[in-house]
Structure 1
Amino acid sequence: MAKSYTEELAGWVSKRTTQRLRQDKNIVAFLAVKGDVKAALDAGYSMKTIWEHLHETKRIEYRYETFTLHVKRHIRTKPRAEHRVEQQLPQEQSKPQALAATTRPDQAQSEPRKTPPPSVGGFTFTATPKKEDLF
């Protein structure tokens, strides 16, 4: 007796999931070399040169585009924990002294002005035509 399509599909899916590589393998590999990448970037090497070396030495096995995304996400931008620490600091401590002196106290506490959305108008559809519009 022949298998039904759903049974055949279930067998294929189970084979495919065991053969697929883990998606987080790339990020784990990047985080393992993150310190070296940061040091090389700080030393003035280009991302392309760093990727080529890491790829040739088999320390990472993914494409350059993936590498640049990881660099942008984990090195070029601040980690989320650092953003939270800055938000918890009082406003006067996180601002430079020159900006803190020029800010008025009432200005910092006021909410941003909300403008109403622009009104939509101009066209209305009617299914019955007007005789004056037809001529």
Structure 2
Amino acid sequence: MSARIAERIARKKPVGNVRNRAAFLALRGEVKQAIDDGWPVKTIWETLHDEEKVAFSYQAFRGYVNRLILSPPANGEATPASVVADQPRQAAPRLAPQSAKQPSEWKPEKPTATGFTFNRTPKKEDLL
């Protein structure tokens, strides 16, 4: 069905966004397989662009990958939602669900003493 819809959209020459999304959806299985095989998203886009299977920009392609392949499923499990362009995607561990603490149980973390602390009055030995 997806292939027929993509073919129909391609024949009608609709507005760019609809045509681009239909083209991506038709290739979604191939793109997902390539990502699972460890290929960088940029390399996948370059290959599809050279083969003239996609005519849209890399940024649009990356957005489709993030929204339609890597976005969290409806069942609430968290998965990574961003793609690093120049590095192969590694299988990331699933994120653990947030603890079920009530807001009254939350305690702010104490600030650490590391880092820069501004002192308004300068020390004479620090001045040139």
Q: TM-score, normalised by structure 1?
A: 0.46
Find the structure with the greater CA-based Rg: 1
Q: Which has the higher helix share?
A: 1
Q: TM-score, normalised by structure 2?
A: 0.48
